[in-house]
Amino acid sequence: MEIAPSPVLIDVAVKLAVMLGFVLTVVPVMVWVERRGSALIQDRPGPNRLGPFGLIQPLADALKFMFKEDVTPSAADKPLYLMAPVLALIPAFTTIVVIPFGPTIEAFGRTIPLVIAPAETGVLLFLSLASLGVYSLILAGYGSNNKFSLLGSIRASAQMISYELALTLSVLAVVIPVSSFYLPDVVAYQQEHVWNFIPQFIGFVVFLIASFAETNRLPFDLPEAESELVAGFHTEYSAMRFASFFMGEYASMTALSCLGVTLYFGGWSLPFVHLEGWLGAIVGLLVLVAKVGICMAVFVWVRWTFPRFRYDQLMRLGWKVLLPLAILNLLGVAAMTLAGWI
Amino acid sequence: MEMLIFLLFAALALGSSLVVVLHRNPIYATISLVLTLFCVAVLFVLLGAPFLGVLQVLIYTGAIVVLFLFVIMLLNVGREESHGAGQGLQIAGALGGAAVFFLLVGLALWRTGLPELHPLTADLVALKSLSRDLFTEYLLPFEIVGLLLLVAVIGATVVARKPPQDGPAASTANAEGAEL
């Protein structure tokens, strides 16, 4: 592989700036949506003092996090304890490199595919980078030297490994008819046919449930179950280190929403309209943002509507329901593709 | 540029694998193993086999080493203490292992002769041809390896299972799950 000359490096830098800007903007907005949304569902006002509709509240929260005292427990394993919050951010911010956010455009005498890393291994790269997220939870739990943290991180690692299987298998079922791991191909396939959530509805349901478990959101937030484990794996963290876990959670929700939208809801494309060129690039990005926004709203909606699963129920659902369902779905899709039905 | 990346990650891989072997705290050793496997994945990508690199991260760093850490945390393995008496035995063991390794490699080379080496070509490690070879030419070895792993998993489960007790014992799997 040869390293690309500098003008292409500039393309990559610009594309990175767009996507990172997107994810970094989503995080504070989501904090506001979560707090206002929970208030709406629980029939109370929520934060409404700072700015119109309390919109400046996330800024105030961030300032507060910065000025809080940063406590490190004296019994903590210091290097691991300090490393964990940093690792929480890495998978969320690296996985977005394979998400396409527009058509291939011709500009400055070059063809530029609007995906940061046009890698042949697209989806697999996403899954492999996302699977590294569990390390931050494990190290946080072990490094804190606190029994609640340790229990939280043991739960986290078991849960994430179990649901990763179902998630991966449902993603592979999408890849079979497209016969490419490259996500722009998946979008192009959906432009020609229909959005994947119609032919792949079972796979979509498995993906949806598994993505709640992978992001540790209710109803699967066992690693930080307040009523049993104080705050689970991040019990001992305060100030910016706590905020970094918080940001990691919202950023991985964003990344998984991007993947879900791209796999099942046509990504940046619109049905019946063929977007191309610069107009397509701008509209495509807005469409992607809108679709991801809807997904994030569903995350919030589900969190404040469903009660938490018990741990054995969680494991039973993962291994005895979702995994067989995902395998059957994979076999079914493969058979149908061979028969030429999809 | 490519050389620079190679040197950086090769050095990191060597350094972190040394930490894996030499560090006394099993958690640190396992974390270094993660770094080693990640660097090897980068080397795969540099060799023009991004598919193998991604699988390396997905399977080894993303799943298998997580299980290592899981077990280490569950058993709460402490730091390894150095005993004066055990040291000599350890060195002897290491030397013995190295001797057996070189003996076997030497034996294999002596019996087969040094096979002619071909540079990796792009289509050998490309996604499509690799999977086609795996499911046609190498199907039998592939299935045998899969069967072997399955047998190992079942064997480990049987060995680790508690012997059945008398009386109306609750389902062990569920009881253990509830404890976590």
pLDDT digits (tens, 9 = 90+) for A225-266: 777 777 777 788 888 888 888 888 888 888 899 999 998 888
Are the C-beta atoms of B58 and B14 separated by less than 8 Å?
no
pLDDT of res. A7: 61
B8 interfaces chain A, CB cutoff of 8 Å: no
What would the mean pLDDT of A145-167 be, rounded to a whole number?
84
pLDDT of res. B96: 93
Are the C-beta atoms of A119 and A96 separated by less than 8 Å?
no
Q: Is the model's pLDDT at B169 over the cut of 80?
A: no
Integer Cα distance of B163 and B180 in angstroms: 21
User: Could you tell me which residues come within 8 angstroms of residue A22 by beta carbon, excluding any fewer than 6 positions away?
Assistant: A96, A254, A285, A289
For residue A218, the surrounding DSSP H or E stretch is none
Task: Give the closest-approach CA distance of B67 to chain A in angstroms.
Answer: 8
B120 interfaces chain A, CB cutoff of 8 Å: no
Percent of chain A topping pLDDT 70: 98
In this predicted model, what pLDDT tens digit does every residue of A114-150 receive, in sequence order? 788 777 788 888 888 888 888 888 888 888 888 888 8
Q: Is the model's pLDDT at B147 over the cut of 60?
A: yes
Percent of chain B topping pLDDT 90: 18
Check: CATH 2.40.10.120 for B1-79?
Answer: no
Percent of chain B topping pLDDT 70: 79
User: Could you tell me which residues come within 8 angstroms of residue A215 by beta carbon, excluding any fewer than 6 positions away?
Assistant: A249, A252, A253, A256, A299
In this predicted model, what pLDDT tens digit does every residue of A187-212 receive, in sequence order? 888 888 888 888 888 889 999 999 98
pLDDT of res. B144: 93
Query: CB B180 to CB A155 under 8 A?
Result: yes
Residue B112 tokens read as 């087969």
pTM of the model: 0.80
Are the C-beta atoms of B53 and B11 separated by less than 8 Å?
no
Domain that holds residue A20: 6-48+72-339
In this predicted model, what pLDDT tens digit does every residue of A47-88 receive, in sequence order? 888 878 878 888 888 888 888 888 888 877 888 888 888 888
For residue A111, being part of any structural domain is answered with yes
State the best of B70, B75, B171 to mutate against chain A, taking most chain A CBs within 10 Å: B70
pLDDT of res. B97: 92
Phi, psi of B103 (to 5 degrees): -60, -45
The secondary structure of residue B85, as a DSSP letter, is: H
pLDDT of res. A65: 86
B43 interfaces chain A, CB cutoff of 8 Å: no
For residue A107, the surrounding DSSP H or E stretch is strand A105-107
Q: Is the model's pLDDT at B75 over the cut of 90?
A: no
Cα distances (angstroms) measured from residue A202 to each of A24, A104, A181, A205, A209: 32, 31, 20, 5, 11
For residue A60, being part of any structural domain is answered with no
- The whole-chain average pLDDT of chain A stands at 84
Domain total of chain A: 1
Q: Which of A271-285, A316-330, B69-83 has the highest mean pLDDT?
A: A316-330
Q: Is the model's pLDDT at B83 over the cut of 70?
A: no
Integer Cα distance of A230 and A305 in angstroms: 21
For residue A62, being part of any structural domain is answered with no
User: Measured in Å, how far apart are chain A's first and last C-alpha atoms?
Assistant: 35
Give the three-state DSSP class for B31: helix
Integer Cα distance of B124 and B133 in angstroms: 9
**pLDDT confidence tier of residue B122, bands split at 50, 70 and 90:** low
pLDDT of res. B12: 92
Give the three-state DSSP class for A112: strand
Pick the range with the lowest mean pLDDT from A42-51, A101-110, A174-183: A101-110
What would the mean pLDDT of B129-154 be, rounded to a whole number?
88
Residue B119 tokens read as 């540079």
Task: Give the closest-approach CA distance of B45 to chain A in angstroms.
Answer: 8
Query: CB A120 to CB B127 under 8 A?
Result: yes
Residues 51-70 of B with CB under 8 A from A: 51, 54-55, 57-58, 61-63, 66-67, 69-70
Query: CB A154 to CB B127 under 8 A?
Result: no
pLDDT of res. B170: 45
Q: Is the model's pLDDT at B114 over the cut of 80?
A: no
Residues of B in contact with A318 (CB under 8 A): none
| Cα radius of gyration (chain B) | 22
Which is more confident, A294 or A111? A294
For residue A59, being part of any structural domain is answered with no
For residue A170, being part of any structural domain is answered with yes
Task: Give the closest-approach CA distance of B109 to chain A in angstroms.
Answer: 32
Are the C-beta atoms of A242 and A136 separated by less than 8 Å?
no
For residue A269, being part of any structural domain is answered with yes
Query: CB B61 to CB A132 under 8 A?
Result: yes
- The whole-chain average pLDDT of chain B stands at 80
